[in-house]
Structure formats: structure tokens, C-alpha cells
Amino acid sequence: MKKGLFICIEGIDASGKTTQAKLLVKNLNEKGYEAIYTSEPTHGFFGQILRRKILYGNERVPAVIEALLFALDRLEHVEKEIEPALKEGKIVVSDRYVYSSIAYQGAAGLDLTWIEEINRWAIKPDLAIYLDVPAEVVIKRLKEKRSVMETLENQRKVREIYLKLVREGRLLLVDGNRSVEEIEKEILQKVLKLLETSL
């Protein structure tokens, strides 16, 4: 059976995840690999609820509700998009994954172990990259406030949890406070190195 490779890109809002995830997919495709881009929140049933009712309203809903909805959305993401593509031997590049729940809903005060528990079935990526950018930098990039998450204080708290996951060896830190091209090159290098030993 073909194996595929599962990569996710994490970071605070506007840290450059979408830019880098899409560039990685493009670069891998150009090198002859079959790579696809996916993202969370997804465009599925729960992802749409999150976008329409939870993320862009005026107030935050209780963090437990956020955590449960993101976990449900992720279950759909894994079952309908990630696993089928991996079974076909593809490289899946996910823009956000379970670490976003640990960081964001953790920053909202939830017990990190409980967040892990409700995401227990979420398969472990082969490579989980964290794009590190200071909160002050992303707040400048976010010209107008977009979601309930995007305050300086919240972005700082979220970053602290991502950095804790880096210290625990669960995320690989890439300095995101550089030019798009420099970051793109470093990520591609890391992924190609992993591919030499994996596929």
C-alpha cells in the first residue's frame, strides 16, 4: 500500500501559513510529487458553522464549544480529505491542524490535556511546522480586525503555547519573520530531506 506524507503548517494569524503551504504544494508538484493543499477550518458542515457563526461574530462563544466544533471539523477533514489522499500516496499539506486547537483554545483557558483527549483520533503528521512570527508583527499585517481571535493579547498567548509545543519537540520552528522566499526555501529543503527517507 502507498503511504503518502502528511505535513501541517501552524502559526498565529497572518504568520504566512497560507502563503507557505500553497508555495510548498506548488514546489513539490513542480518536482514531480503529487501534493495537495487542505486547510482548517474546512469547507465542510462544521467548518461552515465555525466561519459563519463562531469566528467572525462580535463576541466569542465559550471555548469548550469552539474546541468541540473544531474537533468535529477535524474529524471530517481527516476522514474525507487527509486519509483518502494519503492512501493514494499523495503529500498532504494542511494549513492548520490539531496544534491550532491546543494553542487557541488552550489560550482561552481550556485544559490542554482535555483538548488533546477530544482530538485523540487525529492522526499524527509526519512533519508539523510552526512559522514563528511575533504577535506585534502580525497585528501590523492584519490591517483590519477579522476574527474574534485577532487581538494582540490573544495572539501573544497563542504564540506562547505554540512555543511550548516547540520546546516539547512536537512542532518544528521555522522563523517566519523573514522574506517569503527565504522561508519558502527552508521549508522545501526540510520537506525534501524528509522525502528522501520516507516515501
Binding site for ligand ADP (CB under 6 A): 11, 13-19, 141, 179-180, 183
Q: Write the single-letter amino acid at 113.
A: T
Q: Using the 8-state DSSP alphabet, how is residue 34 labeled? A: -
Our finding on whether 90 is near ligand TYD (CB under 6 A) is no
Q: How far is the CB of 122 from ligand ADP (least distance, A)?
A: 20
In the shown chain, the binding pattern of residues 117 to 156 toward ligand TYD, with x for contact by CB under 6 A and - for none, equals ------------------------------x-x-------
In sequence order, which ranges of the chain are alpha helices (DSSP H)? 17-30, 45-49, 63-76, 83-87, 98-107, 112-118, 135-141, 152-167, 180-198
Q: How far is the CB of 37 from ligand ADP (least distance, A)?
A: 11
Element at 147 (helix H, strand E): none
Is there a cis peptide before residue 84, judged by omega within 30 degrees of 0?
A: no
Residue 14 backbone class (left: φ over 0; alpha: ψ -120 to 50; beta: rest)? left
Window of 82-90, 97-105, 125-133, 189-197 that interacts with ligand TYD by CB under 6 A: 97-105
Please identify the residue of the shown chain whose CB is closest to the bound ligand TYD. Answer: 104
Our finding on whether 162 is near ligand TYD (CB under 6 A) is no
Q: Which does 15 bind (CB under 5 to 8 A by kind): ligand TYD, ligand ADP, none?
A: ligand ADP
Nearer to ligand TYD, 55 or 85 (CB): 55
Enumerate the β-bridge partners of residue 39.
95
Question: What is the SS3 string spanning 67-115?
Answer: HHHHHHHHHHHHHHHHHHHHHCCCEEEEECCHHHHHHHHHHCCCCHHHH
What span, in angstroms and rounded, lies between the C-alpha atoms of 79 and 68?
17
With CB under 6 A as the contact rule, the residue among 25, 81, 90, 104 that binds ligand TYD is: 104
With CB under 6 A as the contact rule, the residue among 40, 126, 132, 184 that binds ligand TYD is: 40
> What's phi and psi for 186, nearest 5 deg?
-65, -45
With CB under 6 A as the contact rule, the residue among 6, 46, 70, 162 that binds ligand TYD is: 70
Which residues contact ligand TYD by CB under 6 A?
Answer: 13, 40-41, 55, 66, 70, 96, 100-101, 104-105, 147, 149
